[in-house]
């Protein structure tokens, strides 16, 4: 029987992640954690079964969890959530869409999600707790540090280093071997040299 997984966050990123998890097929989505006032609501047919205060209790029944909160302005919420999940003892798997391509020569960290049609090429390294969003390209020899969001259609060219906590906007492009400092905010459509 497939293990049950808990989704932490019930917004837009959660909806996209539900689609990936359903298609990937390794887990049964058992419920969603969100704000207390949303308990009982459904997101694409899955119930919000609790809030952050309920995580310890839920852990008795569900041992896998994935962070379904997006990241634009700051990675801080995702960082705090991952630390909380680890402290409780949840397993935080890497989720990779079957429609993504990840080279067998790439390395992907824990709690990272790779969405539909993303490409991660050879010798690329993606850290923990990252979002590699739909149609993003992580080219050969690139390094994406922990807690980064590479947004939809973004292109991280070969040898680029993206430091921790960075948001790399939709359709943004890095030149090859670019260096992007910690907690950078790269605007959609921009070119990073």
Architecture of 4-93 per CATH?
Answer: 3-Layer(aba) Sandwich (3.40)
pLDDT digits (tens, 9 = 90+) for 139-154: 999 999 999 999 999 9
Q: Residue 79: pLDDT band by 50, 70, 90 thresholds?
A: very high
List, in sequence order, the alpha helices (H) in the chain.
Answer: 12-24, 55-59, 76-88
Residue 121 predicted with pLDDT over 90: yes
Domain with CATH 2.160.10.10 in the chain: 94-188
One CATH from 2.160.10.10, 3.40.50.2000, 2.40.50.140, 2.40.50.100 for 94-188 = 2.160.10.10
pLDDT digits (tens, 9 = 90+) for 152-172: 999 999 999 999 999 999 999
The confidence score (pLDDT) of residue 72 equals 79
Residue 46 DSSP one-character state: E
Domain with CATH 3.40.50.20 in the chain: 4-93
Contact present, 158 and 140 (Cβ < 8 Å): yes
pTM: 0.96
Q: Rg of the Cα trace of the chain?
A: 16
The length of the chain in residues reads 193
Q: How many CA atoms lie within 13 A of 164 on its CB side?
A: 6
């Amino acid at each position: 029987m497939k293990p049950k997984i808990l989704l932490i966050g019930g917004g837009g990123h959660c909806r996209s992640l539900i689609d990936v998890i359903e298609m990937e097929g390794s887990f049964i989505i058992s419920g969603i954690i969100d704000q207390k006032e949303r308990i009982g609501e459904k997101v694409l047919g899955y119930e919000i079964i609790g809030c952050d205060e309920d995580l310890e209790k839920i852990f008795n029944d569900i041992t896998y969890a994935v962070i379904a909160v997006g990241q634009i302005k700051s990675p801080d919420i995702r960082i705090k959530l991952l630390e909380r999940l680890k402290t409780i003892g949840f397993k935080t798997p890497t989720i990779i869409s079957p429609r993504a391509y990840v080279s067998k020569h790439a390395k992907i960290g824990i709690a990272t999600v790779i969405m539909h049609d993303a490409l991660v090429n050879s010798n690329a390294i993606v850290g923990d707790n990252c979002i590699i969003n739909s149609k993003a390209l992580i080219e050969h020899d690139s390094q994406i540090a922990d807690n980064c969001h590479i947004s939809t259609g973004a292109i991280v060219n070969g040898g680029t280093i993206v430091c921790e906590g960075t948001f790399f906007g939709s359709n943004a492009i890095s030149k090859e071997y670019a260096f992007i400092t910690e907690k950078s905010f790269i605007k959609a459509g921009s070119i990073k040299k």
